[in-house]
Amino acid sequence: MSNYVIEAKSVEKTLGRGAGEVRALRGVDLSLRRGELTLLMGPSGSGKTTLLLVLGCMLTPTSGSVTVCGTSTSNADREKLAKIRREHVGFVFQSYHLFPTMTAAQNVQLALDIRHERGARAAKKSRAALEMVGLEQKADVLPGGLSGGEQQRVAIARALVANPSVVLADEPTSALDGKNGQSIMRILADTAHEHDRAVLVVTHDPRVVPFGDRIVEIEDGLIVEDRWGKTDRPRMPRTAPFGA
């Protein structure tokens, strides 16, 4: 079985039409593997969010191919894409996007609920996920009663609880102070290293660079640099062995 959970090959994505048409991605090859935290960095408008959306099955590529855990997103309709996300992908959003009327535990449990995992077992798994991010004491607190860092930790617990193969995080530290940002990145690094998941973090926060096993830079819809980070992790080939 391939160690690569996401494989993107020659991905192009054109957004808009006519005069407003933008080639957001111009032939991207990128593979993410388990046990690795990859940072996707680049200036505003470089295409990193578009790439995240394509890798996260929110968008399908205009050309090229994306395979998530062996399932191609080509020609997939909205329900099929949702199914792939449900089965394989966990998301962490910049603005957390927690449900304000539900407790931390219920927010986490929602990720199981949409997968039809319900009852006491789901509740137990949700509490365990909160414990993993150090928030077991805040399980019954509404998001409004949590700090920004705590809310982001709940969001991470929600992304992890269903045991996805890949976690995609969009600017997870941008709304946090340095200490909380470090804490969040440590959790994401643990997610990759200790729980053997592929983690992709889109960021332009230089403070998170030390946490990256791999740093991918994108500019004008093209990957311009793909290098190892400064962590002590064992290194593997950077590109997926397509056709291998």
Partner 1 sequence: MSLTLTLASRNLFHDRLRFVATLIGIVFSVVLVMIQMGLFLGFGRMVTTMIDHAPADLWILPKGAKCFEDPSLIDVKVRDRVASLEGINSAVPLVIGFSDWRMERGEVTPVFIVGADQRDSGLQPWNIVEGNAQTLQQGGNVAVDRSYFERLGVSGVGSTAEVRGRKVRVTAVTDGIRSFATTPYVFVDMKNARNYTGTPRDRASSILVQLKSDADPEKALSAVRAEVGDAEVLTADEFRKRSRSFWLFGTGAGAALFAGALLGVIVGTVIVAQTLYSSTKDHLTEFATLRAMGSSNAYIYSVIIYQALLNAVIGFCIAAGIGSIVVQMTAKSALPIVITPWLMAALFVLTVVMCVASGIGAIIRVVRIDPATVFMR
Query: Helices 104-113 and 148-160, interaxial angle, to 10°?
Result: 20
Which CB atom, from 95 or from 239, has the smaller least distance to partner 1?
95
Q: How far is the CB of 86 from partner 1 (least distance, A)?
A: 3
Which residues make up the interface to partner 1 (CB under 8 A)?
Answer: 49, 52-53, 56, 58-59, 78-79, 82-87, 89, 91, 93-95, 97, 99-102, 106, 109-111, 113-115, 118-119, 158, 170
CA distance 132 to 220: 38
- Report, in Å, the least distance between residue 189 CB and partner 1: 22
> Are 229 and 209 within 8 A, CB to CB?
yes
Query: CB of residue 170 vs partner 1: minimum separation in angstroms?
Result: 5
Least distance to partner 1, CB of residue 224, Å: 22
- Residues 17, 51, 77, CA angle at the centre, nearest 5°? 65
Q: Which is nearer to partner 1, 114 or 224 (CB)?
A: 114
Could you tell me the smallest distance in angstroms from the CB atom of residue 95 to partner 1? 6
Residue with tokens 């709940």: 154
Cβ proximity to partner 1, 95 vs 137, nearer residue: 95
Q: Please tell me the number of Cα atoms within 13 Å of 179 on its side-chain side.
A: 3
Q: Give 126 or 213: the residue with its C-beta nearer to partner 1.
A: 126
Reference 106, options 152, 141, 132; nearest CA is 141
Query: Which residues share a beta bridge with 7?
Result: 31, 67
Nearer to partner 1, 59 or 215 (CB): 59
Residue with tokens 């909205």: 78
